[in-house]
């Protein structure tokens, strides 16, 4: 069976998105005697054959260090690495490839901004504004820089639905606010945040904004220019790429004014003991030999997503999410956590008083993989007064059968604990 990319290349436009499933080898296995229903893409997505093959081909034939050698393999590796950067720049509509920095992931991207952008600017009494629904990786880096500078971290509250108290968020922006960091999509609740309103007010007040896009990029078209944010961070392994690679988008003028975060090779123009001059963007922020195969794999993942089309992905996932919410709501004892009007790709829930961890084990015995626990969002769990939740998260390869399997397995979990 030809993969999606081949079908597209063959000019076959009328493919069903359901066919994408065949492009992901891991999905065709059995777990505990049942076909795998992978509903944990929010933690990490599976990888299409085209990404696996691209990485293998690179390792087999083209591997060398980048930006260094005059030999053929170094040239090939550099072309592939920089080609991936171009793909990604186009995918999120950056103005320039200089605005796309490779990092090890969203976490490293946010830490880079906290340390390089914020740390030199912050003074005692300054504030960094986040929201109550952030992932730990969009909380702790700011706490660290607050400890280093005496600045304060302020979190805008949320409502029971999982929506942000937007009016409060706008009120919290004042003269002391030096940075705003918000998720695009909440990893624990699925809420899509009102970025347009937040960024418009922030721009009016000249406050820089970082968006944590880890849970958005795999599920919807992201246009960093249209958003107008100063920084946008995301991870490869949640968008069908490998682990250990991610991206920090930053506005060129902002990145230009920032000092390097880490020093080393590749980020310099000239090193002398009486002073070193730094390389231009984006290399100023890519010290040391980068994750070349990871970047190339991420480039292949981006090409895959583009071949499917993000509008198609979004449409498919929205319909499937509605179906999943319906099916879950029909189970007696179900408590949905995260019921915002605008949600993407995932649903958190509790079933009766069964601990999420027990649910996870029982579902796994039936081949259904979900995430259980606090989802690295302990303040969200505290807000809802739960130790953790069960979370089913979708990607373009999921179908109604996966959702039906989830619902059936949950009914069986109820029997087990009856």
Partner 1 sequence: MSTTFPEADDLRELYRELIIDHAKSPRHFGRIEEATHCAEGINPLCGDKLKLYFTVDEQDRICDARFEGSGCAISVASASLLTETVIGLETERALNFFAAMVNRLSGRPDEQPQNSEQVDEIDLGKLRALEGVKDYPSRVKCATLAWHALNSALRQNHKPATTE
Q: What gap in Å lies between CA 294 and CA 302, rounded to an integer? A: 12
Is residue 291 classed as helix, strand or coil in its secondary structure? coil
Considering only 128, 179, 388, 405, the residue that binds partner 1 (CB under 8 A) is 388
Cβ 225 vs Cβ 95: under 8 Å: yes
Answer yes or no whether residue 401 interacts with partner 1 by CB under 8 A. no
**Binding of partner 1 by 30 (CB under 8 A):** no
Max distance between CA atoms of the chain, in angstroms, equals 74
SS3 34: strand
Is residue 417 a contact residue for partner 1 (CB under 8 A)?
yes
Q: Among 92, 151, 281, 362, which residue interacts with partner 1 (rule: CB under 8 A)?
A: 362
Alpha carbon of residue 173 to chain centroid: 25
| Residue 412 binds to partner 1 (criterion: CB under 8 A) | yes
Which one of residues 1, 11, 14, 33 is an interface residue with partner 1 (CB under 8 A)? 33
Q: Does 190 bind partner 1 (CB under 8 A)?
A: no
376 counts as catalytic:
yes
d(C-alpha 386, C-alpha 222), whole Å: 32
Burial of 160 (0-12, 13-18, 19+ CB in 10 A): exposed
Q: Does 331 bind partner 1 (CB under 8 A)?
A: no
- Residue 224 burial (CB count, 10 A): 23
Q: Which two tokens stand for residue 338?
A: 């995260």
Shortest Å, Cβ 381 to partner 1: 7
User: Which is closer to partner 1, CB of 313 or CB of 369?
Assistant: 369
Sole binder of partner 1 in the list 16, 96, 225, 361 (CB under 8 A): 361
Query: Nearer Cβ to partner 1, position 253 or 418?
Result: 418
CA distance 79 to 70: 13
Tokens of 299: 């480039």
Residue from 9, 32, 225, 276 in contact with partner 1 (CB under 8 A): 32
Distance in angstroms (rounded) separating the CA atoms of residues 266 and 283:
7
Candidate list 118, 146, 156, 376, residue with the active-site label: 376
Q: How far is the CB of 289 from partner 1 (least distance, A)?
A: 31
Q: Binder to partner 1 among 373, 380, 383, 410 (CB under 8 A)?
A: 373
Active site residues: 376
Residues at the interface with partner 1 (CB under 8 A):
32-33, 354-358, 361-362, 365-366, 372-374, 378, 381, 387-388, 412, 415-418
């Amino acid at each position: 069976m030809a993969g999606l990319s081949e079908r597209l290349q063959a000019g076959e436009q009328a493919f069903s998105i359901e066919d994408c499933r065949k492009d992901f080898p891991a999905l065709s296995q059995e777990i505990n005697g049942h076909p795998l229903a992978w509903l944990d893409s929010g933690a990490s997505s599976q990888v299409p054959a085209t990404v696996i093959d691209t990485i293998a081909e690179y390792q087999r034939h083209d591997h060398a260090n980048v930006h260094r050698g005059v030999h053929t393999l170094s040239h090939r590796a550099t072309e592939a690495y920089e080609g991936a950067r171009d793909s990604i720049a186009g995918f999120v509509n950056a103005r320039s490839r200089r605005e796309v920095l490779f990092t090890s992931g969203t976490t490293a991207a946010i830490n880079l901004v906290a340390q390089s952008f914020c740390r030199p600017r912050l003074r005692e009494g300054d504030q960094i504004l986040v929201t109550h629904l952030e992932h730990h990786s969009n909380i702790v880096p700011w706490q660290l820089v607050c400890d280093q500078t005496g600045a304060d971290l302020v979190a805008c509250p949320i409502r029971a639905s999982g929506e942000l108290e937007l009016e409060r968020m706008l009120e919290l922006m004042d003269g002391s606010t030096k940075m705003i960091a918000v998720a695009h999509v909440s990893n624990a609740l699925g809420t899509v945040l009102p970025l347009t309103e937040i960024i418009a007010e922030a721009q009016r007040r000249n406050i820089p904004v970082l968006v944590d896009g880890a849970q958005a990029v795999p599920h919807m078209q992201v246009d960093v220019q249209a958003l107008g944010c100063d920084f946008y961070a995301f991870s490869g392994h949640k968008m069908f790429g490998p682990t250990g690679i991610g991206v920090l988008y930053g506005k060129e003028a902002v990145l230009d004014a920032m000092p390097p975060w880490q020093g080393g090779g590749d980020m310099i123009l000239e090193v002398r003991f009486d002073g070193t001059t730094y390389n231009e963007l984006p290399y100023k922020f890519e010290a040391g030999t980068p994750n070349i195969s990871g970047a190339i794999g991420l480039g292949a993942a981006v090409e895959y997503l583009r071949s499917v089309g993000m509008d198609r992905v979004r449409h498919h996932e929205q319909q499937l999410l509605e179906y999943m919410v319906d099916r879950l709501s029909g189970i007696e004892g179900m408590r949905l956590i995260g019921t915002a009007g605008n949600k993407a790709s995932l649903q958190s829930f509790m079933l009766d008083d069964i601990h999420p961890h027990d649910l996870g084990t029982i579902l796994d015995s039936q081949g259904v993989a979900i995430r259980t626990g606090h989802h690295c969002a302990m303040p969200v769990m505290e807000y809802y007064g739960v130790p953790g939740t069960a979370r089913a998260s979708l990607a373009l390869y999921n179908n109604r059968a996966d959702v039906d399997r989830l619902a059936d397995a949950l009914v069986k979990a109820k029997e087990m604990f009856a």
